[in-house]
Structure 1
Amino acid sequence: MSLDNTIYYLTYENIIDTNILFNDIYSNENTNYYFSDDFSKEFYIHLARCGFISTTTIYEEKLYLLPELQFEYALLDFENLHISKKVEKLIRKDNYIFKINTRFEEVLEKIDEYHNPNWLIGDYHKLLLELKQKDDSLPDFSIMSVEIIDKETKELIAAEIGYKIYDTYTSLTGFSSKEKKYNNYGKLQLVLLAKYLEKENYAFWNLGHPYMEYKFDLGAVKYSRDDFLKRWLAKVFI
């Protein structure tokens, strides 16, 4: 939550105005969360380009977009990737299929089943489905689902949703099966995704909040907002 407990209303006009963006938003070290009722593609994509990671909140029975300019970020440079012995064992076991964007809507359904409450609902859910449709006017931005499928049963057992901007990838949310036989398949999904991103010449992976130990176990490094923005804006800002 913002340090001063203030959440400001944010508009598309605010963030395309570089004076407001740099002098009022980026420089405000006491605020991280903003809110809006604008679920348009244009606003969402420009928020992402500016370094916001957006979720949602419900207030007085209305769903609002909740863009966050985080105080800190976890970034993975692929040369720092760490693979645990348990994940190495799963890789050798080879009883899974790794896919990108083959079961997108099912991934959304599984995330909804897994997370209670789930912020990826309503107009946000509709927005992701809209963004998933091919749009030649958005060559630099694309929504992705990353999937681990049981090779024998074809069951979706771990997956996440994120987005690509130029040569960066940002995670949004995901799930992994709670069945005991699928222990560590969520970590397997992360490792295989890192390997995929490296193979496809991505610059780095933005894992968002640096408060979960698994991100550091994977090899991520914590960045302050200022240090994150120096790397991020050099890559994706227009």
Structure 2
Amino acid sequence: MSNTILYEINLENIQDSTTLNYIYNNKTDNYYLSSDFTKEFYITQAKAGFISTSIYIKDSFYLLPEIQFEYAVLDFKNLHISKKVEKLLNENSFRFVVNSDINLVLEKINSYHKDSWLCDRYRDLILDLYKNPDDDFEIYSVLLYYQDEIIAGEIGYKIKTTYTSLSGFSSKDRKFNNWGKLQLVLLAKYLEENGFSFWNLGHPYMQYKFDLGAKLYKREAFLRKWLKKISS
């Protein structure tokens, strides 16, 4: 991204329909910068379809909202469960918990990813959003245990009846192969059982998302699907 020009955006830009439509129709740029770490800005950009990571530029820390060119989306009717995951489900030797310890999930994510972007003011913002949920926006944390050992987990957010993944982790121990996929299947089942419409898995570049049953949506098609649910 070193040679990419990044344009800074603010709350007014996203609230202005003309500017937002320009961003939506811009087929060249997908990443933007923001120094606004308020809850209002974060929720507004998320509702608009951006997914934010973060970045340091010359010792300054920014949010990096991305309006992706493509998205991986799981409609729960398309959920695919492999034989190996089915076996783990039948063995029932796991414990799956939602919203039990977000600090622990963040710690695990930051240990798992060397260059984790859930850090600094972004981490503080996520914790603030978790502790003070909005009517239409809520941070979710997920943990999967084998006995007392944490094997996998993730953080994401709920907007209306949609769920979007942010970041996650899974054990690198070979004896827990497929437990990361187990966590995804369990989360998909949880979301469906709790009335969610679909799961926004973000970037469509990882095969495991399609193994789960996700479909690829170009930006325009995704936004039609997304904004219909967000505005309802």
User: Is 1:224–2:223 an aligned residue pair?
Assistant: no
- Deviation of the 1:45 alpha carbon: 0.5
SS in 2 for 1:230: helix
- Deviation of the 1:178 alpha carbon: 1.2
What is residue 129 of structure 1 aligned with on the other side?
Answer: 127
Match of 2:23 among 22, 25, 33: 25
Q: Deviations over 1:3-39 (max 9, x none)?
A: x9331101011001112111x2111111100001111
The amino acid of 1:134's aligned partner reads N
- Deviation of the 1:211 alpha carbon: 0.5
The amino acid of 1:207's aligned partner reads L
Q: Deviations over 1:183-215 (max 9, x none)?
A: 111100000000111111111000000000000
Match of 2:48 among 42, 47, 50: 50
User: What are the residue-to-residue correspondences of 1:99-178 with 2, within 5 Å?
Assistant: 99-135=97-133, 138-150=134-146, 152=147, 154-178=148-172
What is residue 74 of structure 2 aligned with on the other side?
Answer: 76
TM-score by length of 1: 0.94
Q: Which runs of 4+ in 1 moved over 3 A?
A: none
SS in 2 for 1:191: helix
Q: For residues 7 and 61 of structure 1, what CA distance do their matches in structure 2 show? A: 16
User: Is 1:15–2:14 an aligned residue pair?
Assistant: yes
Q: Deviations over 1:127-167 (max 9, x none)?
A: 001001134xx1110000111012x2x22210000000000
What is residue 96 of structure 2 aligned with on the other side?
Answer: 98
The farther-off stretch of 177-186 and 70-79 is: 177-186
Q: For residues 106 and 179 of structure 1, what CA distance do their matches in structure 2 show? A: 19
What is residue 36 of structure 2 aligned with on the other side?
Answer: 38
SS in 1 for 2:61: strand
- Deviation of the 1:237 alpha carbon: 4.0
SS in 2 for 1:216: helix
The amino acid of 1:161's aligned partner reads I
8 Å Cα contact 1:77/1:204 also seen in 2: yes
SS in 2 for 1:197: helix
Q: For residues 181 and 62 of structure 1, what CA distance do their matches in structure 2 show? A: 41
The farther-off stretch of 46-55 and 87-96 is: 87-96
What is residue 212 of structure 1 aligned with on the other side?
Answer: 206
User: How many residues matched?
Assistant: 232
The farther-off stretch of 92-101 and 68-77 is: 92-101
Match of 1:191 among 185, 192, 209: 185
SS in 1 for 2:224: helix
- Any gaps of 5 or more consecutive residues in structure 1? none
Q: For residues 39 and 155 of structure 1, what CA distance do their matches in structure 2 show? A: 34
Q: For residues 36 and 237 of structure 1, what CA distance do their matches in structure 2 show? A: 24
- Any gaps of 5 or more consecutive residues in structure 2? none
Q: For residues 174 and 207 of structure 2, what CA distance do their matches in structure 1 show? A: 21
The amino acid of 2:185's aligned partner reads V
8 Å Cα contact 1:50/1:237 also seen in 2: no
